[in-house]
A = this chain, B = another copy of it.
Amino acid sequence: MAETQIFLLPGPTQVPPRILRAGSAPMVNHRGPEFKAILTEMTANVKKVYQTQNDVLTLTCSGSGGLEASVANFVNPGDKVIVASIGNFGERFRDLAILYGAEVDYIGIPWGKPLDPQIIADKLKADINQEIKAIFFQHNETSTGILNPVKEIAEARGSHPALLVVDSISGMGAAELKTDEWGLDVVIAGSQKAFMSPPGVAFISVNERAWEVQAKNKNVKYYFDLAKAKKSLADGQTPYTPAVATIYSITEALRMMMETGLEAIIAEHYFRRDTVRAAAAALGLECVAKEKYASPAVTAIYLPEGMTQQQIVKPLREKFNTVVAGGQGQLKGKIFRIGHLGYLNILDLVAAVSALEICLLDAGYKLELGTGVAAMQKMIYKQYC
């Protein structure tokens, strides 16, 4: 009887019943009026979450397809670009930029730390001929649970013409991102994170400045040609057959999000983060992120000395139907990650921590059962009562 999981990945996230039902509606003609109404409504609401008036295009692909589109449309072979990586997903930008022939200035921040905006400021100041065409970085780095100071990074760009290309796949809707106010040129998001929907759809926003760059782009691109997507959207369509059911789901998800309000949603994400961090602290476990840059979407916690990832992640799943993530890349085998974005009950986190304590104890870690749970309960009591 294992199908109902306490599902705490940093995406895909839980899909609430209301959204599952919406996603199970019959197909409609994706060139007809019903779909036009849906795509138009969804796009308008996605823009509210993006806090943007820019175009936001819907791509039928996972977040990685959105990342490819952000390189393919805005980087020409030979272009100088900065890729500032703070973890596993930053490296994906590097790989893509190299693949598309860019001359990449790769800034590899030690995993577990955010990008220091001063590094960007210095790089751009030194670029006296303004040859740097774009700066790629993450809003929220899923692999480490670090939230980058996007606003400050954007300020560091100043008047330099380089495009700011932000991967907000796991950040959008969980942490604030003021696309327009902060002057972010291209921002990528995905359906399976704070949008509480199944994977398969990515979003990408493009502002005027980025469109000018896109118009001169020379890469061969077909499926990810954003100019085509913009043209189709004017007719309430997508250039290629869209993931209709996933778009039903996201449309319903956005209705739910508008009912709750973006501010309340983000505050709830921070509260979840704080309870998980309090539990970790009470159990003597160290979080990867310091509080200032700790992600409201996912908390990465170091495994106790000598313990393997499989001593935690596997029994949580096998004994308790509780799904958390292990580490990736450099942190593989060193951490586990509790996702707390999207749709969940704060008690899901309490339940997961109660089971985590049992697994830790069973793996030989010294603790008093209930310690982490009690720390969370105290915060919940304060918040809810």
Contact = CB atoms under 8 A, between A and B. Distances in A.
Copies in the complex: 2
A125 to B, nearest CB: 46
A371 interface: yes
Interface string A313-356: 00100011110000000000000000000010111101110110
B256 A1 contact: yes
Contact of A354 (B3, B256, B321, B354): B354
A373 interface: yes
23 contacts: A1-B16, A1-B343, A3-B16, A3-B17, A3-B18, A4-B343, A6-B347, A319-B384, A321-B345, A322-B347, A347-B351, A347-B354, A348-B351, A350-B350, A350-B351, A350-B355, A351-B351, A351-B354, A358-B384, A362-B381, A368-B374, A370-B373, A370-B374
A17 B4 contact: yes
A161 to B, nearest CB: 42
Contacts of A357: 377
Nearest to A14: B4
Interface of A is mostly: helix
A245 interface: no
Interface string A103-126: 000000000000000000000000
Nearest to A322: B347
Contact of A355 (B4, B315, B343, B347): B347
Nearest to A282: B370
| Residue in A358, A368, A378 with the greatest tally of chain B CB atoms within 10 Å | A358
A385 interface: yes
A260 interface: yes
A96 interface: no
Contacts of A358: 377, 380-381, 384-385
A369 interface: yes
A227 interface: no
Interface residues of A, number: 43
A272 B41 CA distance: 46
A281 interface: no
A4 B319 CA distance: 22
Given A368-B374, A369-B381, 9 more contacts: A1-B256, A1-B343, A4-B345, A319-B385, A354-B376, A354-B377, A358-B380, A358-B381, A361-B385
A349 to B, nearest CB: 9
Contacts of A368: 374
Contacts of A355: 347, 350, 380
Contacts of A16: 1, 3-4
A369 B377 contact: yes
Nearest to A358: B381
A371 B369 contact: no
Contact of A320 (B3, B343, B345): B345
Interface string A30-60: 0000000000000000000000000000000
A182 to B, nearest CB: 28
B377 A6 contact: no
